[in-house]
Structure 1
Amino acid sequence: MGYNNWNAFQCDINEARVLQTANLMKSLGLQDVGYTHVNIDDCYAQKNRSANGHIVADPVKFPSGFNNLTSQLHSLGFKAGIYGDSGWFTCAGFPGSFANEARDIKTFQDWGFDYLKYDNCAIPYDNITRQNTLGKYERMADAINQLAKTSGKPPMIFSLCEWGWSQVWLWGKQFGQSWRTLGDIEPTWASLASIINFNSFITMATDFSGRNDMDMLQIGNGNMTIDEAKSHWTAWALMKSPLLIGTDLTKLSKDNLNILKNKEIIAIHQDPVVGTSISPFAWGVNPDWTSDPAHPAGYWSGPTQDGTVIMLLNTLDTPTDMSFNLTQSPWLRAGRQYKIRDLWAHTDNGTAVRSITAHQVPPHGVVALLLKDNGDEPAGTLPLCALWWQCTGQDGSRVPGS
């Protein structure tokens, strides 16, 4: 959890803006709820390396140098992040790290950084790399691990920005703590829905070893409605994606700030016992297991240390009632009843038996619930099985409809 400047400022980044952002994260209470990284993206360097081959920080943008900047961030209680690229150049045309991995990671560590976002632009020709994408990222991963051995310092957090073309979710956790799964996010519902749809099929890749990175948060950017912003943040948090704010904090509305600071959902994102993502159990608009970038799955669930979390996502353009049978979720037991906690209203909403209906979920809106086991369902609850499929008595009789 933290901040990255790219979505809001792209190359318009400098020392004063980084420190202003860090101080705003403290004063707005974002650091207090868990946003503890301040990460600098592309465009911080000079266009050419030094005579001895090192990346050089732009002295106009960062006149006090990175050691001074990272020291200030650390004194404020933040971790500091930097950006690099596995090719000849970064995506904005600054020095990449291909064939300079060991030199560059030591430079980043010497500057005081704790985190590296590593991009995939300006890829060398095949007759130079003699390697696939996995191997290009392995080069920097090996350099990070070797530096940790020789320096005695913890290895830098390694975030792979690979865009998913090489199925990075299959191999990313061998090298890093997170990996991008698609191209760059846009501040539109269409972009959010497409990312949610794609990631619904690879949720099993996320655990404590590493996380699917759905890209930086667009809360407060573009023309998203508050309901869309709430859906965006809820999906990212409950799918355990890194939560990196990409907004100009000086322009952040109170409503958007409240979305970013939902402590009940952050507690699930940061769950120390369960590291897995929520996953769909029903699609709703489409048949189950249908890929549709405009209408991703609507019904999601997953375990937490405190119960089962449910996310209902209305992908339609109109208010919609959303209902489900409790035992459709693999994390809820038949024959039990559950206390309902609304994670956005922050209210206890009674007890669910057999099913739940959320009425008039707003267009592109979300409902997030935490269900806690509350014992056996009431005696005499009918029908005898909530789901009739293969429901059979000991004498072989079948429940009607099964």
Structure 2
Amino acid sequence: MLTSAIAIGTSIAALVGRASALDSGVGKLPKLGYNTFNAFECGYDADVVLSQAQAMKDLGLVDLGYNSFLFDDCMTEKTRNSKGRLVASAEKFPNGLKKLTSQLKKLGVSSSAYSDAGVQTCAGYPGSFGHEAQDLESWEAWGFDYLKYDNCYIPFDNVTQENVYGRYKRMSDAIAARAAKKHSTPFQFSLCEWGWQQPWVWARQLGQSWRVNGDIKPWWSSIASIINTASFISSTTDFYGRNDFDILEVGNFGQGSPQGNMTDDEEKSHFTAWALLKSPMLISANLTNISSSSVEVLSNQDLLRINQDPHVGASISPFRWGINEDFTFNETHPAQYWTGNSSYGVVFMVLNTLDTVEVMSFNLTESWAIRAGRLYDVYDMWSHTHNGTAYRNVTVTLPPHGVAALLLNDAGPEEAGIEPYCAGWWQCSWPNGTYYSN
């Protein structure tokens, strides 16, 4: 059997059906941008914000669509003023947040706020419980249009008389009410619930994205664990509502890694998975001191256009787990073979979860999006090259924790008379009803 070989150098419940998305006019596509927290935690100020935004512009990232800047936790004073309003940190932002967000806007970058459904944020700053409408007014006045909403310091049950859904609904309702009152575009709402209560089931009724895992770390074991989670819930992502797998860690070399910093191949795998899973992608690295190889990963236009596909909102999903039986929950070795559709062709992601170089193969018709009996042009979205025509099978050689991101397009019918007559021969039948035997 002919094979197209492409050398590449380098407990959750069962699948959940897709529900109707909350189309409030914002958030049709995943958000691209920057997040301060993993790179700077609370140690950011106006100078850091401007330097990172300027670097986004200078590196060409803004032009590629990374046009949002998220001020994560710690952007206010520790107490509200006498009227109960949030107060921007005077030490961090001596000229005020409105001036700073205006400066970002001149660079082509919008501004995103952070808060919490509890009484405090995770870092101990004022949360928005009981102040939802009031805080929206402040953020809007400061120039924000997007909200990441965390889940720390929950009030007692006899105070809230709500579960997590109700606490997040308070802010969702406030966003909708303010937009209706002002006849304005509503805030985009990103729920940071951490996946404890299966937000992929209910959160699309409230906002445009929802976190499904704990905080990401800049090392491979964390990335693999999140991809494992994704393999069971990928079908719940579509236009106006998507799983959020947390910050994009490309270029962020954190301290305390159990395995060392991510390799170039691991960064590619991380970026590929987030892009093709249609996750929001917010960079969290010091862009003034980032390697050229990391910038190259972040700048992959072939993968970005799949993430930002205006006609197909669904993400890739596994069609075979590989080294594990299908639907195996394994945080170290998640599903390896993934596929999905796009405006540009049929998408495949092949992921080597092992610590050794591996030769990996799949039959084209394992993908629901492939037409049987056809040849396919194979485009490699990392080398940006056309690598010949695939006949029924594709084989790739991948480095440890490496990835192949392939785009296949119909190249015409197979030649007549080639056996076996069906790629899945065990289902193949002669016209008289006799099964074909290979």
* Fold-level similarity (TM above 0.5): yes
Q: Secondary structure at the match of 1:311?
A: strand
Letter of the 1:244 counterpart: L
Letter of the 1:225 counterpart: T
Calculate the TM-score normalised by the size of structure 2.
0.90
How is 1:365-380 mapped onto 2 (pairs within 5 angstroms)?
A: 365-380=402-417
Letter of the 2:213 counterpart: L
Match of 1:124 among 155, 160, 179: 155
Match of 2:76 among 31, 45, 67: 45
**Aligned-pair CA distance for 1:239:** 0.2
**Aligned-pair CA distance for 1:390:** 2.2
Letter of the 1:365 counterpart: G
Letter of the 2:420 counterpart: P
**4+ runs of 1 displaced by more than 4 Å?**
none
Give the whole-Å Cα distance in 2 for the aligned partners of 1:33 and 1:123.
38
1:303 aligns with 2:341: yes
Letter of the 1:242 counterpart: P
Match of 1:34 among 62, 65, 87: 65
Give the whole-Å Cα distance in 1 for the aligned partners of 2:433 and 2:53.
67
How is 1:286-301 mapped onto 2 (pairs within 5 angstroms)?
A: 286-301=324-339
How is 1:160-175 mapped onto 2 (pairs within 5 angstroms)?
A: 160-175=191-206
Which residue of 2 is the match for residue 2 of structure 1? Answer: 33
User: Over residues 92-137 of structure 1, what are the superposed CA-to-partner deviations in whole Å (9 max), with x where a residue is unaligned?
Assistant: 0000000110101111111110111000000011111111101110
For these two proteins, the number of residue pairs brought into alignment is 400
How is 1:144-159 mapped onto 2 (pairs within 5 angstroms)?
A: 144-159=175-190
* Structure 2 spans left out of the alignment, 5+ residues: 1-31, 254-260
Letter of the 2:267 counterpart: A
Give the whole-Å Cα distance in 2 for the aligned partners of 1:210 and 1:344.
27
Give the whole-Å Cα distance in 2 for the aligned partners of 1:301 and 1:2.
26
1:265 aligns with 2:303: yes
**Aligned-pair CA distance for 1:72:** 1.0
Matched residues, percent identical? 54
1:279 aligns with 2:340: no
Q: Secondary structure at the match of 1:309?
A: strand
Which residue of 2 is the match for residue 212 of structure 1? Answer: 243
Give the whole-Å Cα distance in 2 for the aligned partners of 1:381 and 1:256.
45
Which residue of 1 is the match for residue 27 of structure 2? Answer: none
Give the whole-Å Cα distance in 1 for the aligned partners of 2:156 and 2:332.
36
Give the whole-Å Cα distance in 2 for the aligned partners of 1:152 and 1:73.
25
Give the whole-Å Cα distance in 1 for the aligned partners of 2:71 and 2:113.
5
Letter of the 1:289 counterpart: F
Which residue of 1 is the match for residue 377 of structure 2? Answer: 339
1:188 aligns with 2:207: no
Give the whole-Å Cα distance in 2 for the aligned partners of 1:284 and 1:139.
43
1:254 aligns with 2:292: yes
Which residue of 2 is the match for residue 354 of structure 1? Answer: 392
Which residue of 2 is the match for residue 384 of structure 1? Answer: 421
Match of 2:133 among 76, 79, 102: 102
Which residue of 1 is the match for residue 435 of structure 2? Answer: 398
Give the whole-Å Cα distance in 1 for the aligned partners of 2:427 and 2:401.
36
Which residue of 2 is the match for residue 325 of structure 1? Answer: 363
Letter of the 2:395 counterpart: T
Aligned-pair RMSD on alpha carbons?
0.8
Give the whole-Å Cα distance in 2 for the aligned partners of 1:134 and 1:199.
21
State whether residues 426 and 437 of structure 2, in contact with CA within 8 Å, keep that contact through their aligned partners in structure 1.
no
Give the whole-Å Cα distance in 1 for the aligned partners of 2:335 and 2:345.
22
User: Over residues 282-341 of structure 1, what are the superposed CA-to-partner deviations in whole Å (9 max), with x where a residue is unaligned?
Assistant: 011101111100000100010001110100000000000010000001111111110000
State whether residues 209 and 242 of structure 2, in contact with CA within 8 Å, keep that contact through their aligned partners in structure 1.
yes
**Aligned-pair CA distance for 1:391:** 1.3
Calculate the TM-score normalised by the size of structure 1.
0.98
Give the whole-Å Cα distance in 1 for the aligned partners of 2:199 and 2:94.
37
Which residue of 2 is the match for residue 11 of structure 1? Answer: 42
Give the whole-Å Cα distance in 2 for the aligned partners of 1:299 and 1:23.
38
Which residue of 1 is the match for residue 88 of structure 2? Answer: 57
Letter of the 2:275 counterpart: A
User: Over residues 25-45 of structure 1, what are the superposed CA-to-partner deviations in whole Å (9 max), with x where a residue is unaligned?
Assistant: 000000111101011000111
Letter of the 1:371 counterpart: L
Which residue of 2 is the match for residue 69 of structure 1? Answer: 100
Letter of the 1:335 counterpart: G
Q: Secondary structure at the match of 1:138?
A: helix
